[in-house]
Amino acid sequence: MSDPVAFRMALGRFVTGVTVVTTLDAAGAPIGLTANSFNSVSLDPPLVLWSLSRRSMNLPVFEAASHFAINVLSIDQKHLSDRFARPVEDRFRDVDWTPGAGGVPVLRDCAAVFECASHERYEGGDHVIFIGRVERFDHQNRVPLAYHAGAYATTARYTGTFTEGPFTDDYLLYLLARASSLASGEFHAELAELGVPVPVWRVLAILAGAEGGRTIGEIAARALLKQPTATRIVDRMQEQGYVVRCPSSDDRRRVVVQLTALGSELVADLIARAQAHETALLATQTPAEAEILKRVLGQLIDRLVERRDGRVPR
């Protein structure tokens, strides 16, 4: 197989559920992450599986855990899916859960929950496959949250062909939002499989090729983050060895963030993946059409920035 991006897009045609897999670390602190790789294995004995990227920072915790729980999210729990997929300082803050088998967190109001003892672990290429033996389970009459083509989907019964209204068919903001949601959803799913949160990817991409580094303020503005959030993300990335803070070469009173060798290696791989995804995304356009699309969007962004900053009238 020579086209991993096309392979991923083909896999995206398959609709999956969305789960939050939870466990406890060695200190007894709750750990959880969003995953859509859950599947059944056996009825007798009752076995289920899920997989985790080798690059995930949580891999050692799950490899050492005696138990884990697979919480199948309901359609009104999209906020939990988003929360456990992002670099939140305390993912369990204000989340309602109870201890299950082995003390692992069981989230409330899920469509289903499977409390598992760690049974087997297998090599799965760039992932590790975890097999759990179900010790307890529960299910509720709730519509499950679904995931399709890199975005959340509904699980309503099919009632025929869906037709957009005439206004949204031709409304620029709707078209931009729809295109952004679908396109970014595909690549963000790839990042999730690699264990790289979207804000971390944005920071890495912003720093790539930035000679002299960038300040926290510049990073926050370009990554569409609030400055305190950008600061926390950079702090964590520095702990992981991806970035370093240092005085600017132009003004030593000014602190900038730069990539380390490890960060440069990671972002080079991610940029290659992003470029491959873009190529697949624009496969039906000619090079001239793709260039026009980018130029028009760039002009629109420049115009909106000028309006925001008061340099041109609204």
3-state DSSP call for residue 273? helix
CATH number of domain containing 209: 1.10.10.10
Q: Is 185 a member of any domain?
A: yes
Statement: the pTM of the whole predicted model exceeds 0.75? no
Q: Is 313 a member of any domain?
A: no
Q: Is 272 a member of any domain?
A: yes
Q: Are residues 19 and 116 in the same domain?
A: yes
Q: Please tell me the total count of domains within the chain.
A: 2
Residue 259 CA to residue 238 CA, distance in Å, equals: 9
Domain boundaries, position 255: 166-308
Q: Which pLDDT score is estimated for 251?
A: 79
- The three state secondary structure string of 23-86 is EECCCCCEEEEEECCCEEEECCCCEEEEEEECCCCCHHHHHHCCEEEEEECEHHHHHHHHHHHC
Last residue of one domain, picked from the residues 96, 119, 153: 153
Q: Is 314 a member of any domain?
A: no
Last residue of one domain, picked from the residues 129, 153, 177: 153
Phi and psi based region of residue 230 (left: phi greater than 0; alpha: psi -120 to 50; beta: remaining): alpha
Q: Are residues 51 and 136 in the same domain?
A: yes
Q: Are residues 180 and 219 in the same domain?
A: yes
Residue 83 CA to residue 87 CA, distance in Å, equals: 8
Give me the average pLDDT of each 10-residue run along the chain (314 residues): 68 83 94 92 95 90 96 91 81 92 95 96 93 95 81 55 62 86 83 86 91 90 88 93 89 88 93 91 86 91 84 65
Q: Are residues 284 and 179 in the same domain?
A: yes
What are the backbone angles phi and psi of residue 31, rounded to the nearest 5°? Answer: -130, 140
Q: Are residues 100 and 170 in the same domain?
A: no
Q: Which pLDDT score is estimated for 158?
A: 42
